[in-house]
Structures are given as C-alpha cells and as structure tokens.
A and B are shown apart, each in its own frame.
Chain A
C-alpha cells in the first residue's frame, strides 16, 4: 500500500535548540489529517523521544514519517555510533547521555522504553560503527 504522506526530517547531533521541530511538524501534519486523541499523543511522544535520541546520542541522522490509510510509521536512522548492548539500552534508567544533555533534564534512561510503550510495533537494529535504525508503527483504527 502506498503511503499518503512521506516526509523526511534531517536531525543534527547536539542541536538542542532545534530539537523537537520534527516531532512538532509530525504532530501538526497528523492533526491536519484528522488523527487525534490517544494515537496522536502516542506518536507525538514517541517521535519526540526518538528525535531527542538522535540529538543526544547519534552522529546525526534522520526521521521519516509515513502515513498509510490504516497506520503511521516512524523510522529513525542515524550514521552512528551504534549501540553496543541493546538489552542494556532498552532498560529503564540506563543512559549514556553526557553532562550537557543531563543539565537540560535529559538522560533519565526513559527514551527507548518510552518509545516501545507508546508504539504498537517497535523494532530496533543497531551495529557499532554503522548506526541504529528504529521503526515504530501506530495503528489508526
């Protein structure tokens, strides 16, 4: 099935000022399409978490929004550094965020578990030295 909307947002590493722009636009677009309530909130939270993860942890990447008649798909892909231990990264409270991120109130180790909790489908693939890809699906019915 072809996507109704496909949009890609480049996300710059360590740019805390622009962090949230992509997720705000995603929320706005979905709202225009008539998506609301619980699904909109879950997509908004998950997209912000994944965008922030790109800013805090990655060497740069992009976030892609795809809207199908029955679902929304968010795909985050970055160019590194990759996650050595995925099981540990998925654990609540575990974080490798630096002091700058922590001083802004990030780095509670809630990002990945929170994405998984909010998405209907969650998949993460990572290779050290290559990068990380996260795919999240949200059912619209």
Chain B
C-alpha cells in the first residue's frame, strides 16, 4: 500500500503536501517513547504518535520510515514541518485515534514488522 492510499484509508490530510506520497508502506507501529521507537523503527514504517517536536522527524528520517501519522487531529508546528519537507518525510493527521488508525492498518493487512 502506498502512503497516498493509506491517507485515504484513515481519512487523513497531509501536513506536508509538497512531499510525494508514492512510497510503499511496509509496516505500521505506534509508540510515543522516541527511544523505544529508535529501537524498533523500520524502513517503510507508518508511525503513529502524539509527539510533535523536531526529534520526531529526526527519528522517522533516520529509520527511513514512510510517514508519520498524528491521531485525533493533532497539528505540528511549522519548524518540524519544515524539517519534514526538507527531508522528504510525509506527516499526516486524522480525526481517528491511534487505536482506530492501527485497527484500520491491521485490517488492511499491514504488518507490525517489515517482512524480509
């Protein structure tokens, strides 16, 4: 599933519309402890978090994730969004809760860990 399709699936809008949504999502994850995510992040991951500071983008980029998803209509400040644009990282926001987002991703057969 591409990021653009995932966006439709969870009724999200992109906070970084300049960034391509063509990337393939390999797996999903939710956690707000950044150091925990660093240990479990994966290439192509769609990461659901309520954290919105600069380091969120750094973690997503360093783990080579596909996108960051903010639940419950949470917004991000311009500074991290600018960094996301600079680094080519998609940031989505949706009305759904983290639980509901993960439910939809799991129902669409997106695994919790990248395969292979």
Chain A residues in contact with chain B, CB under 8 A?
16-17, 19-20, 23-24, 27, 41, 44-45, 48-49, 52, 104-111, 113-114, 117
Beyond the given pairs A20-B58, A105-B37, A105-B51, 16 more chain A to chain B contacts, judged by CB atoms under 8 angstroms and listed by A's residue number, are A20-B55, A20-B62, A24-B58, A24-B62, A41-B43, A44-B62, A44-B63, A44-B64, A45-B62, A48-B58, A49-B38, A105-B34, A105-B55, A106-B33, A110-B35, A111-B38
A108 CA / B54 CA spacing, docked (Å): 18
12 A–B pairs (Cβ distance < 8 Å), ordered by A: A19-B58, A24-B61, A41-B43, A41-B62, A44-B62, A45-B63, A48-B59, A52-B35, A105-B34, A106-B33, A111-B38, A114-B38
Number of A-B contacts defined by CB within 8 Å: 73
Most buried by A among B39, B43, B54, B62: B62
Cβ contacts under 8 Å, A48 to chain B: 38, 58-59, 62
Cβ contacts under 8 Å, B32 to chain A: 105
Query: Looking across the interface, which residue of chain A has its beta carbon closest to that of B87?
Result: A24
Size of chain B's interface in residues, with CB distance under 8 A? 23
B36 interfacial contact with A, CB 8 Å: yes
- The main secondary structure of chain A at its interface with chain B is helix
Contact indicator B61/A19 (Cβ below 8 Å): no
Chain B residues in contact with chain A, CB under 8 A?
32-39, 41, 43, 49, 51, 53-56, 58-59, 61-64, 87
Cβ contacts under 8 Å, B59 to chain A: 48
